[in-house]
Amino acid sequence: MPKHSWSSDYKPEFTFTIKDTTASYQLFLAFRHTEKYNFNNLWINLYSQPPGDTVHKARYELQLATNDKGWLGTGMDDIYEHRIALTDPRRFKAGTYKFLLEQIMREDPLKNVLNVGLRVEKK
The phi and psi torsions of 74 (rounded to 5 degrees) equal -90, 145
Q: For residues 113 and 56, what is the distance between their CA atoms, to the nearest angstrom?
A: 25
pLDDT at 77: 87
Residues in the chain: 123
For the chain, the structural domain boundaries read 2-122
Per residue in 68-106, pLDDT (tens digit) is: 999 999 988 899 999 999 999 999 999 999 999 999 999
CB atoms within 10 A of CB 29: 19
Instruction: Determine whether domain 2-122 maps to CATH 2.60.120.
Output: yes
Q: For residues 27 and 96, what is the distance between their CA atoms, to the nearest angstrom?
A: 14
Confidence of residue 27 (pLDDT cuts 50, 70, 90): very high
Q: Which percentage of the chain shows pLDDT scores above 90?
A: 94
Residues 6+ apart with CB under 8 A from 116: 1, 6, 12, 29, 30, 31, 32, 101, 103
pLDDT at 62: 97
Q: For residues 46 and 120, what is the distance between their CA atoms, to the nearest angstrom?
A: 14
pLDDT at 2: 86
Confidence of residue 51 (pLDDT cuts 50, 70, 90): very high
